[in-house]
Amino acid sequence: MSLLLMEQDADFLKLTNEIFTRQLAANHTLNNMLTDRARQKMYQDVKYNIDFLYTALCLEDDGIYARYARWLYQLLTPLMTGCSRESLRDIMTEHYELIRTCMSKTLSYEKHDRLHRLLNGAIKATAEECDAGPPAPSSAPVKYEKEVTRYLDCLLQSDTEGALALVTGCVKEGIPLDDVCSDIVAEAMRRVGELWHLHLISVDMEHYCTSVTQMALSQFYPLIFGQPRKGKTVLIACVGSELHEIGARMIADLFEYSGWDSIYLGAAVPVETLLSAAEKYQPDLIALSVTMPQHLPLCRNAVEQLREKFPKPKIAVGGNAFTDTKIWKSWNVDIYTEDAKALVQWADNTL
Ligand code: B12
């Protein structure tokens, strides 16, 4: 698995280095066996863990770290063959305890109480996940269950043509385009992520599903760009080093379909770029998409800077990182919605 890496806060970088050094010092055999590549990978894993801890601390949202601990435990269980669920729980608990030990050496005292709470939460979540037994892909049927299942089946059978035909077929059969995007394709991709997470599909399959989905959605461009104009502009971007951009593109497409002009900046947009685009295009609405929680602090910062410099446009936030959290409520934003469809409806009614 390749991980998402971002610039780290200086104190938390020290914490990452301290943990990594101690992990290696505690296991001389491992230290001697590691190739440079494996050593780099191990360092990245520690950094990834600490990025989540930092995010939860910075946003004062304990749930972020507890959910991450559950996700990590589920991710590692099938990977650590030969290691029982209980042993994995103990290894992870040891790791959280190591973070605790190292933080007293590297981080200022006033952060300690909150960090202890976050680490206790992670240990508890890990123990609960262990007791809960192996997770199964979630199976609650959705409104377009038949179409979602058929689309997913095409993807998993590498049937590119079938997948492309299925989505156009849905529209021909009368399913509204915004439902096809938000309720069928997005749901199928959520399931792809779940299968990857549980190691039921490989990384190459996940990438294939992504590229076919991008192709499938692009078939609608003649329809999307052929609608009467409303004279409104929306600017859309993914914040930080966020690479997940299909959701943001879907937002752009559905706004175009509703007659708005969309300026889609794509993945990994630096805040300065966002600010200059806001100046240049003078949008009515700015939509910021975040999938990985690590980008939430930067998203909050982007919202603050946009508000300060551009009082006129409305600001919307959304994306997978906001699932199960209400942090956006304390931000200076106009709207959060769970899906693209609801945002377009809100904007059409409000602006
Ligand atoms: C495709 C995919 C990728 C692709 C992305 C390619 C691309 N061009 O976008 C690639 C391979 C690059 C990738 C990489 C990674 N991924 Co990935 N990925 C996915 C996957 C399977 C689908 C994402 C997607 O396109 N969904 C479809 C779109 C339409 O849905 P959506 O983004 O949620 O958008 C909808 C709403 O959220 C909303 N919305 C979105 N933006 C906005 C904005 C506003 C303003 C509003 C109002 C609404 C809104 O509207 C959309 C439609 O209704 C998800 C699974 C999932 N649960 O989503 C994992 C997932 C997001 N990835 C995950 C991970 C861990 C990673 C990696 C770290 C590891 C890896 N897999 O290699 C890297 C990190 C990359 C990085 N630097 O950011 C995890 C994240 C877990 C977590 N929360 O911590 C997930 C959830 C998989 C999982 N179940 O574990 N990934």
pLDDT at position 5: 54
pLDDT at position 191: 96
CATH class of the domain whose range is 228-350: alpha beta
Query: Which has the closest alpha carbon to 283: 326, 227, 347?
Result: 347
Atom of ligand 1 nearest to the CA of 52: 84
Q: How far is the CA of 187 from the centre of ligand 1 (A)?
A: 11
- Phi, psi angle pair for 262, to nearest 5°: -110, 135
Q: Tokens 């991450």 identify what position?
A: 68
Please indicate whether residue 143, judged by its CB atom, sits closer than 6 Å to ligand 1.
no
pLDDT at position 3: 46
Q: How far is the CA of 292 from the centre of ligand 1 (A)?
A: 7
pLDDT digits (tens, 9 = 90+) for 71-90: 999 999 988 888 899 999 99
Residues of the chain with CATH 1.10.1240.10: 145-219
Q: How far is the CA of 186 from the centre of ligand 1 (A)?
A: 10
How many C-beta atoms lie closer than 10 Å to residue 223's C-beta? 14
Please indicate whether residue 317, judged by its CB atom, sits closer than 6 Å to ligand 1.
yes
Q: How far is the CA of 160 from the centre of ligand 1 (A)?
A: 21
- What sign does the dihedral 293-294-295-300 (CA atoms) show? positive
At 318, which helix (H) or strand (E)? Answer: strand 314-318
Residues of the chain with CATH 3.40.50.280: 228-350
Residues of the chain with CATH 1.10.490: 10-132
pLDDT digits (tens, 9 = 90+) for 37-56: 888 998 999 999 999 999 99
* DSSP letters spanning 27-73: -HHHHHH--HHHHHHHHHHHHHHHHHHHHHHHHT-HHHHHHHHHHHH
Please indicate whether residue 194, judged by its CB atom, sits closer than 6 Å to ligand 1.
yes
Q: Give CA–CA dist 205/197, Å, rounded.
A: 12
Atom of ligand 1 nearest to the CA of 48: 68
Q: How far is the CA of 217 from the centre of ligand 1 (A)?
A: 16
User: Are the C-beta atoms of residues 69 and 128 closer than 8 Å to each other?
Assistant: no
CATH numeric code, 10-132 = 1.10.490
How many C-beta atoms lie closer than 10 Å to residue 106's C-beta? 15
CATH classification of 145-219, choosing from 1.10.150.20, 1.10.1240.10, 3.40.630.150, 1.10.3720.10? 1.10.1240.10
Strands, sheet with 335-336, edge to edge from the N-terminal-most edge strand: 261-264, 233-238, 285-289, 314-318, 335-336
Please indicate whether residue 138, judged by its CB atom, sits closer than 6 Å to ligand 1.
no
Please indicate whether residue 296, judged by its CB atom, sits closer than 6 Å to ligand 1.
no
Please indicate whether residue 210, judged by its CB atom, sits closer than 6 Å to ligand 1.
yes
N-terminal to C-terminal alpha carbon distance within the chain: 42
How many C-beta atoms lie closer than 10 Å to residue 112's C-beta? 13
The residues of the chain scoring below 50 in pLDDT are: 1-3
Please indicate whether residue 192, judged by its CB atom, sits closer than 6 Å to ligand 1.
yes
Q: How far is the CA of 79 from the centre of ligand 1 (A)?
A: 21
Q: Give CA–CA dist 329/290, Å, rounded.
A: 15
Please indicate whether residue 142, judged by its CB atom, sits closer than 6 Å to ligand 1.
no
User: Are the C-beta atoms of residues 293 and 327 closer than 8 Å to each other?
Assistant: no
Q: How far is the CA of 208 from the centre of ligand 1 (A)?
A: 14
pLDDT at position 185: 98
Q: Give the pair of three-digit tokens for residue 96.
A: 């959280």
Q: Return the residue whose CA atom lies nearest to atom 27 of ligand 1.
A: 186
